[in-house]
Structure 1
Amino acid sequence: MTVTTTALPRFVAQLAPHISTDTTLPSIGGIYLEAEGTHLFACATDRYTFALTRTEATEPEPWRAVVARADLTALRALFPARRRGADLHLTHSRGCTRTPGGLLTVGDGARSLTLSANASLARQFPKWRRLFADALAAEPRQDTETLYNADFLARWAKAAERGQPLTTWSAGPGKPLLVAAGPDFLGLHMPVALPAHRPDTPARDRQDRTALRTTWADALATLTPDRALKAAA
């Protein structure tokens, strides 16, 4: 069962910022791969953000694998991101007595790297289809303040190619921000819990829209003609 793709280095770059570092949750401690029908899908999440990407790849017999964080170092070293565009062959072997987790071999015809496919972790990976289907189906409704962790927002910088814009929308308070980059990348970004649900939230973090208008009114009063902002090309 072999998939040929040029997308693996891109997958790693896009998804690595979203991999969980929680050692008590090994099923999300790497990049999840799923070959099915006409596409190879890849996901990563730490439950605060969830990134999903895909590429066209024919695979008549479905398979799933998790590439652990520790193995990504070796994968990056052998097949660095600067080699994008080169064909890589992903061969999945099901588990046996000696390798119960199965194997995933990545090669370019000259070199290859064989890793555990971590079958048991792949079976435990979150059911991503329903999460993303629900987020896409929900109508946008952003009519109140929403708090987002700034460090987590920075993760999406790796989602888009140079010059490619991100599209975002949310179905309302408590719902994930949906992030899209082109036709093949989707992301979910959970907001910080609203103060109503977090009585311990520091006052400095409680940014009410009405209060902000009041505190900024004097500073933003127009004293000289303004130059309009220019939309990005």
Structure 2
Amino acid sequence: MSTETITLSTRELHDLLIPVLPHAGTDKTLPALGVVRLEVRESILYAVATDRFTMAVTRHRLEEPTADVSVAIGREDALAMLKLFKYDRQTDPALELVVGTVEAETILDPADRPALTISAKDGNTLVLHGREDALATWRKILGKVIHREEKPSSPHLGLGSIYLPRWTKAIRTRSPLSVSFGASPSDPVVIRADDHFIGIWMPARLEDGARALRDSLWCKEVPLEVESAEAAQAQTRGAA
């Protein structure tokens, strides 16, 4: 396997990973989803994660031409990387990310195993072993949703509350998140933050009694107040 070097600042690495990490799987019965896929395509670096209920993708255009390459790293490894390589307002160290193979062969880690090596000028180096990559088809999944025909959306949609905080990690500026709905209440919701982030969110199933707003207690206890014709005329005479 050939090696490829990606140059990023520490801040750019954090900006790439932090929005997608909440979407990486944590279910121990599905270890293949507990990863973040890093992929270079036409000199744009993407990070992708999913747990089947949500999927998130970030993008960063690289300054130097970079060959297409990809590697999947574990969620916990990605978190460890962010803890080791830090930045602040005064310092934003440059990093080199080398996608290749583990150089030293051991019984547990064969030499041909994919790896991501991250190095900083201060000497800090971290080698992360590649994981099974279950996200190679992310473009097909995302493309099917974002290129769907725009139709009038369903008036009722269920969204799992435990997933709400995830999307705040994508916000960089005061610009609001863009939300796009499908025609059916079971269609994925698209969440977009400018051009650096996009994600899809699978709706939750609503019980029949919870779907129609008009059947809720709110509509029964807070009726629509319609002004009668007599009251309107009286108000008009009083104003005269």
Per the TM superposition, whether the score is higher than 0.5 is yes
* Alignment partner of 1:210 out of 204, 211, 214: 214
- 1:91 paired with 2:98, answer yes
Q: Output one character per residue of 1:192-221: Cα deviation in whole Å (capped at 9) or x when no partner.
A: 02436xxxxxx5xx2422113632424x75
The answer as to whether partners of 2:43 and 2:67 remain within 8 angstroms in 1 is no
Structure 2 distance, partners of 1:64, 1:86, is: 23
Q: Output one character per residue of 1:34-79: Cα deviation in whole Å (capped at 9) or x when no partner.
A: 1122211101110001001110124543221112122123212211
The answer as to whether partners of 1:135 and 1:176 remain within 8 angstroms in 2 is yes
Query: Which residue matches 1:62?
Result: 68
Structure 1 distance, partners of 2:100, 2:130, is: 8
Deviation at 1:85, TM superposition (A): 4.8
Query: Which residue matches 1:132?
Result: 142
The answer as to whether partners of 1:35 and 1:59 remain within 8 angstroms in 2 is no
Q: Identical aligned pairs, as a percentage?
A: 26
Specify every segment of 5 or more residues in structure 1 that has no aligned partner in the other structure, as ranges.
Answer: 197-202, 224-233
Q: Secondary structure at the match of 2:20?
A: helix
Of the structure 1 ranges 31-40 and 58-67, higher mean CA displacement relative to structure 2 is found in 58-67
Query: Which residue matches 1:2?
Result: 5
- How many residues get paired? 211
Q: Secondary structure at the match of 2:67?
A: strand
Letter in 1 for 2:39: E
Structure 2 distance, partners of 1:90, 1:107, is: 7
Change (3 A) 1:140 1:181: farther
Structure 1 distance, partners of 2:41, 2:168, is: 28
Structure 1 length normalisation: TM-score? 0.80
Structure 2 distance, partners of 1:116, 1:23, is: 19
Query: Which residue matches 1:37?
Result: 42
Deviation at 1:140, TM superposition (A): 4.7
Structure 2 length normalisation: TM-score? 0.78
Specify every segment of 5 or more residues in structure 2 that has no aligned partner in the other structure, as ranges.
Answer: 228-240
Letter in 1 for 2:100: S
In angstroms, what is the RMSD of aligned CA positions? 2.5
Q: Which structure has the larger Rg over C-alpha atoms?
A: 2
